[in-house]
A and B are shown apart, each in its own frame.
Chain A
Amino acid sequence: MPTIEHNGNSYNCDEDGFLLNGMDDMNDDWIDYVKGVEGIAELTDEHHKVIDALREYYKKNGIAPMVRILSKTTGFPLKRIYELFPSGPGKGACKMAGLPKPTGCV
């Protein structure tokens, strides 16, 4: 199992850099680490709003929200989400929020 070390923390990850143990392992240092690998220069309140929305929805429902629901709850159109997270809501935002890797025919 690959491990990522960052700021003294160590995280169990899969080969795509998603947390294997889910949100239990996730903390502010993880956000800081993903920020580096996802090409995000500065973390803003808008980033946190997306992450909080994802985490809240996941805790409540056990799944990541549909893209339309994420847009509706955060008020950010998809275009803005891509500006915040260049890899997109799945590979970028869900990874940062500690959600499981998206599955299906992706």
Chain B
Amino acid sequence: MGYDPANPMADRITDIGPPHYSKFHPPVVAKNKGKWLWHEITQPGVLVHKAESGDECWTVRVGAARLISTELIYEMCDIADAHCDGFLRFTTRNNVEFMVDDKAKVQPLLDDLASRGNKFPVGGTGAGVTNIVHTQGWVHCHTPATDASGVVKAVMDELFDYFTSMKLPAQVRIALACCLNMCGAVHASDIAILGVHRKPPMIDHSRITGVCELPLAISACPLGAVKPAKATVDGKEIKTVKVNNERCMFCGNCYTMCPAMPLADPDGDGIAILVGGKVSNARSAPKFSKLVIPFLPNTPPRWPETVAAVKNILETYAGDAKKYERIGEWAERIGWEKFFEKCNIPFTIKSVDDYRLAYDTWRTTTQFKYTNAIK
């Protein structure tokens, strides 16, 4: 029976949750679950896991654009049908993994993937650059300061060699968020690309009464820059808000709560680069990423300034860091003043924290190195 709009609650199924993942285990995974002995990366993009039973599970990891059509999903299903008994999985960074239970099945799978142009690039393992965790951008969201898919494509094109190889000191996680809601992983990634505004919101007094709960807009502001106010619309006095532009740092939270306070601006908006975050506890504790480049312009469709900045940081790190050292560990070991010098990034006042708990981020020691970063 189809859905009946006149009787929406009839035959309604709800609260059934996702299907249990065990339904989708390849047989070799179902059999050896919880009994794996060791694993090895045999080449970029190919892993083998050895089980107590002697079984092997070979995994081939391929990049994906995350935003994909049903045609592409069908094509992935065809590949899984042809080589993997119809099983596949997606990783937490939106790569795709095809698994087979015999080494002899790996090469035919790789050949098949390679025969499909560059749709299914094999890689993303070990000490390389894997997929970029990213957000909606101009494809679907209403609060972005930059695009997601476009920037990610431009950056990954430039760093493609690092996806298909494992020649960095450690893995480098790149993430992008199109506004500082930071959906995803930018606050804790080795290199983070973040959409930022540089102009305060414009208040549409004619609409604000009907569409906005004013106390929410006021309490949305982290700096108390939004205050209640009165305005006259069509000769009638209405309740509205005003923004103290001197206090506004363009976070856009008030627009999230109040549709009558838009702040997107083609010239004002752009990208900030943060570096040095990580989430694992390996060797050092997890870290937040830190702002190193406050602004790069939005230059669609290829964002050359952003691509060059990311590549510069990555390659400086690759040439200077020790084995197993993540970007944040490297920067902390050499000192952030040396990070700025080696990467040839001008240090600006925007990198000096001035938000509430800022004091702890300033230098309370005489230990520093002379550098050319501060002129």
Contacts and interface: CB of A to CB of B under 8 A. Distances in A.
Nearest to A98: B210
B213 A63 contact: yes
Interface residues on B, range: 10 to 19
Contact of A20 (B8, B9, B181, B211): B211
B214 A62 contact: yes
Contacts of A20: 207, 210-211
A75 to B, nearest CB: 23
Contact of A63 (B9, B211, B216): B216
A32 to B, nearest CB: 16
A104 interface: yes
Nearest to B253: A104
Contact of B9 (A61, A86, A99): A86
Contacts of A101: 211, 259
B141 to A, nearest CB: 10
B95 to A, nearest CB: 26
Interface in B201-226: 207, 209-216
B256 interface: yes
Interface string A73-106: 0000000000000100000000000011101110
Contact of B256 (A22, A64, A105): A105
A9 to B, nearest CB: 17
Contacts of B256: 103-105
Nearest to B220: A104
A81 B208 CA distance: 28
B257 interface: yes
Nearest to B212: A100
A19 interface: yes
B174 interface: no
Interface residues on A, range: 10 to 19
A103 B239 CA distance: 19
Interface in A18-43: 19-22, 39
A64 B181 CA distance: 23
Given A103-B259, A104-B257, A22 B210 contact: yes
A21 B209 contact: yes
Contacts of B239: 62
Contacts of B5: 39
Interface string B168-208: 00000000000001000000000000000000000000010
Nearest to A21: B210
Contacts of B210: 19-22, 100
B80 interface: no
A22 B215 contact: no
Contacts of A62: 213-215, 239
27 contacts: A19-B210, A20-B207, A20-B210, A20-B211, A21-B209, A21-B210, A22-B209, A22-B210, A39-B5, A39-B7, A39-B8, A39-B9, A58-B213, A61-B215, A63-B213, A63-B216, A86-B8, A86-B9, A100-B210, A101-B211, A101-B259, A103-B213, A103-B256, A103-B257, A103-B258, A104-B216, A105-B256
Given A99-B213, A105-B181, 5 more contacts: A14-B211, A20-B207, A61-B215, A63-B215, A103-B259
Interface of A: 14, 19-22, 39, 58, 61-64, 86, 99-101, 103-105
